[in-house]
Chain A
Amino acid sequence: MSEEHNPEPGNRILEVRLGATKAEGGTRERVYTVGGAGTFPFLGAGPAAGHPPRIALEICDDTRTWSPIVLREVGDLAEDTGAWAAAAETTFGADMVRLSFTSTRQRGFDDFASLGTTVEEVIGATKYPLIVEGSTEPAIDSEVYRRIGEAAEGERVLLGTAEADRYRSVAASALAYGHAVVAQTPIDINLAKQLNILLHETALPPERIVIDPYTGTLGYGFEYSYSVMERIRSVALQGDADLARPMISSAIDSLNVKEVREADPETADEVAIRWEFYAAFSALIAGAEIVCVRHPGTVALLREALRALLEGSHPQEEAYGDESA
């Protein structure tokens, strides 16, 4: 069969820096570098191990479509995006917050000013690098990403999400305001590559791109995502520079599946956490450098697991989440 498991020495995943300190024009107290590995996940040591993966907790500005299980868990925080974001870092122990502007998904959305305000609020409330997700509707993309990008200027946030047929606004925002970009393609290695090439044509530097090969939910096509991540990592290590980028994984529909939705209230948290954990953990093993979850309880579980996987491969501070300025 193939020689995929023999990475050619010297090939590395590109490093992407997230967050900017005061000295770099931002306000983050921590910044992260993701990527850099020259081996399959958790097999390398020293420089070949690359930088440790990061755990992001997803929050949103409009909770109407968010999982009731998570909303119950976070209580009043859901009403105060800034406080929710702050709690993600301090109480829940996430490496970063991924703020999703779910408000933009409603039909006829036009409250663009609120986006900037919310971004500023979350920036003010947090100290670590951020991921921000804008709209998914081409008609408003331009306005949305400009507002978000502008409000976060200088913070080097990770902006999502660029797709093959609507990447211009995200890329423009990243270029104009100094951010990085999530490039999502539907579980296909060649499409992932094509999008990277398209982004390259906008002059967005490769070290500002994180690939999202799209993560299906556990039990609902997760295996496709798992394998595509393995494949991307594998060809990257063989020298395919267009794919040698860090990956981000978020099984966003985890909490909407039947098993979780219909769990009885007593065990709902347990089920939700496990459903997220098994997918996110597997994504880490397949090569994801950033994994995103929504239930705070999942963060702690992932943290422990990550610690056991990284043992001895990274300097203490970096491995456990501190690359302070």
Chain B
Amino acid sequence: MAMKALDIYKLLPKTNCKKCGFPTCLAFAMKLASGKVDVDLCPDLDEQTRELLGGATRPPIRLVAIGAGERSFTVGEEFVLYRHERTFYHQPGLMMQVADTWPEERIEGVVARVRDETFHRVGEDLSVDGIAFRWESGDADRFGGVVGTVEACASVPEVIIADDPEAQAAALAHCGNFQPLIHAACADTAEAMCDLARKYGCALAVRAGDLEELKRLVGLCRDRGVENLMLDPAPATLRDFLARSVEIRRRAVERTDPDLGYPVVFDTVPLGLPDAATALGILKYAGVIIIDELGPASTMAALTLRQNIYTDPQKPIQVTPGLYPVNAPTGSAPVLMTVNFSLTYFTLLGYLEAAGIPCYLFIVDTEGMSVLTAVAGGKLTETLVADAIKTTELENRVDHRVLIIPGYAAPLSGKIEEETGWEVRVGPGDAAEIGEYLETGWEA
């Protein structure tokens, strides 16, 4: 069970010595309780307290880093089973596979895509995170050769999929220093794999279809000095993965089974159904998802889903405030004001684009609040609108002085008019009606 701030405080030295970087012990306790800092920051704890507090406040799932350099990423450090309970913090890495039996061009094709392909959405560049090398040839040298060739032309995070320590060694000789994920150790190979992981300081995945066996492997590896572990529950079907991944996450966040407190790897390739498996991995707690060569359509959808699921539910995505031209407007086009809550923006944008009416979307900064909440909470005010008109130089962009505001902002219409000198019209409350409103009701 996680501890409350006050319970933690009771165990702290209560000297307010500030060595942890916080002005008071209570402030530190608050941070600890939310899992945002490590207990080690307070130097004045005895061993027993440190352990107790560590166990209760450290993230129940270990943070594991994959790759080195710009595109490296971390997974783990999650706290909940459902995003609405708090949020999911570290999105899974999507690793597109290449096999060492493939012709060179095919491998090159995948590598180029992983390296270069990005989709731009909501102010973010989305891309596949790295490459997974699969050992199929049975020839360790060939495997090493393929890894070496790719390594020379792409610096992206990697997974090395080979259950044979020799093949692993051959590959790691080329890329070990870039912290790839070693996939995967089983009972027979655990020892050798651990040695490799230690040698290169890489994360290591352990693989077993049974949770007890997974725990045993974890223990084994930890005993051999490897702490950065990941779990591959070796699913044979989507149903298997769902059941095992949920169980692992549940036991981890409930802190009933610390040996399962590691991020999960999901190798989707053997299962077929690439789209379903990728989506399932994103939704249900995978930290690394090994994917087949998904087409661009699938990739874009998968990355978008990941972006959605890993949005903080308590902090909606915000759109940058400003003036957005829609359907190539001219100076006489209507100006529609709304807030920078992403859902409002996108819904409205969708309807406007669909209606094909040239106009300006004028987005003011309500810190991501919806119109209704912003009006109720006093975030949307006439001064805010007036300031935004100035910063966007709206007066120079259009040749009229008419502002259409959302239906739910009607209570502010008079005040906005007074403050800005613009004529304010109240538009519909429902974005779906905007097309009709503009067609029938708007004349500057």
Contact = CB atoms under 8 A, between A and B. Distances in A.
B81 A5 contact: yes
Given A301-B275, A304-B273, A285 B280 contact: yes
Interface in A259-281: 259, 261, 263, 267, 270-271, 273-275, 277-279, 281
A298 B154 CA distance: 35
B82 A231 contact: yes
A274 B347 CA distance: 20
Among all A-B residue pairs, the 3 with the closest Cβ atoms: A305-B276, A274-B301, A270-B297
- Chain B, interface size category, equals 35 or more
B83 A220 contact: no
B298 to A, nearest CB: 5
25 contacts: A1-B79, A5-B82, A42-B242, A43-B242, A107-B436, A220-B343, A220-B346, A220-B347, A221-B346, A222-B308, A224-B313, A226-B308, A226-B309, A256-B354, A261-B353, A270-B298, A271-B300, A282-B283, A301-B276, A304-B276, A305-B273, A305-B275, A310-B239, A311-B237, A311-B238
B308 A308 contact: no
Given A5-B82, A219-B121, 9 more contacts: A1-B85, A1-B86, A4-B82, A219-B308, A230-B82, A230-B84, A253-B350, A274-B301, A275-B301
Contacts of A277: 275, 279, 301
Interface size class of A (residues with CB under 8 A): 35 or more
For the complex, would chain A's binding face be called helix, strand, loop or mixed by DSSP majority?
A: helix
Contacts of A270: 295, 297-298
Nearest to A253: B350
Contacts of B302: 278
B407 to A, nearest CB: 14
A52 to B, nearest CB: 12
A183 interface: no
B101 interface: no
A228 B82 CA distance: 10
Contacts, number: 139
B311 interface: yes
Interface in B109-154: 121-122
Contact of A218 (B273, B308, B354): B308
A40 to B, nearest CB: 8
A281 B302 CA distance: 11
Contact of B2 (A1, A267, A282): A1
A286 B284 CA distance: 10
A285 B239 contact: no
Contacts of B295: 270
B279 A278 contact: yes
Nearest to B282: A282
Contacts of A312: 239
B250 interface: yes
